[in-house]
Amino acid sequence: VLQNFKDVLKVKDIWLIAIYYGLNMISLLAVVTLLPITLEERGVENAGGMVGIMMGATVVFNILGGMLSDRVGKRKPFLLICAVVFGLCVLGFANFTGTALIVVLIIAGAAMGTIAPVLMSVPVEMERIGTALVGSAIGFIFMLGNTGGFVGPVVAGRLMDMSDSSMPGFIFIAAALILSAVFIIPMKETGRKRGPGEAPVAHGH
């Protein structure tokens, strides 16, 4: 088991995808935790239902996003674009109400829902991971992700408390998402439509 973990840590792209996921979880847990509170403070009715709209879109795009990525044969564009889109939507959470708020919640949910299935596909498609090490790899990714999920609400909440405004917290959340996209850029494409010279899928060791 220890050797498997050591082998996983030697793969640079696992570190990139794990940091990406950690930054995403900073944002996701902060949004889910703090958005209902901030909406209520702004006088938005049925704040919990509003967050439910976002989560409903997430459920739908857990399926549609993964299917679209399979159809296109690419992973990186979906991970990169969805993180940036989600980040931009977060900035709208602090300012929008009514129909505009509902629209950005749906778009954010679609982006967030697409990230999960695509991200979980990447490790098993990596040349040095494959099915032999995918459990250890995803465990490491989840470890960093859960760490980010713990830190995110604490930091974002503190920023909101210190400034007596939700905007600094949402800026922090959006910045984490947009920063996460940077870590996808150097990662090798693992989808079936790879560029020339990119490694084929490994199905085991």
pTM given for the model:
0.88
Rounded to 5 degrees, what are φ and ψ at 127? -55, -45
Cα separation values, 95 from 11, 16, 105, 131, Å: 41, 32, 12, 45
Percent of the chain with pLDDT over 70: 93
How does DSSP classify residue 22?
A: H
Cα separation values, 183 from 17, 81, 166, 169, Å: 7, 12, 27, 22
Would you state the pLDDT for residue 195?
A: 60
Q: What is the DSSP string of 124-163?
A: HHSTTTHHHHHHHHHHHHHHHHHHHHHHHHHHHHHHHHHH
Q: Among 144, 149, 152, 151, which residue's Cα sits nearest to residue 123?
A: 144
Would you state the pLDDT for residue 203?
A: 39
**CB burial string 146-159: b at 16+ within 10 A, e below:** eebbebbbeebbeb
Per-residue pLDDT of 179-192, as tens digits, reads 999 999 999 998 88
| 199 pLDDT above the threshold of 50 | no
* Across 61-80, average pLDDT: 95
Residue 102: pLDDT band with limits 50, 70, 90: very high
Tokens 């049925």, residue? 46
Instruction: Identify the top-confidence range among 9-18, 19-28, 48-57, 135-144.
Output: 19-28
Residue 151: pLDDT band with limits 50, 70, 90: very high
- Other Cβ atoms closer than 10 A to 80: 18
The whole-angstrom separation of Cα 135 and Cα 131 is 8
SS3 helix, strand, coil % of the chain, rounded to 5?
80, 0, 20
| 16 pLDDT above the threshold of 90 | yes
The whole-angstrom separation of Cα 191 and Cα 75 is 6
Percent of the chain with pLDDT over 90: 60
In terms of pLDDT, which residue wins out, 117 or 198? 117
Q: Please measure the distance between the N-terminal and C-terminal CA atoms of the chain and give it in whole angstroms.
A: 15
The whole-angstrom separation of Cα 20 and Cα 178 is 10
Would you state the pLDDT for residue 1?
A: 67
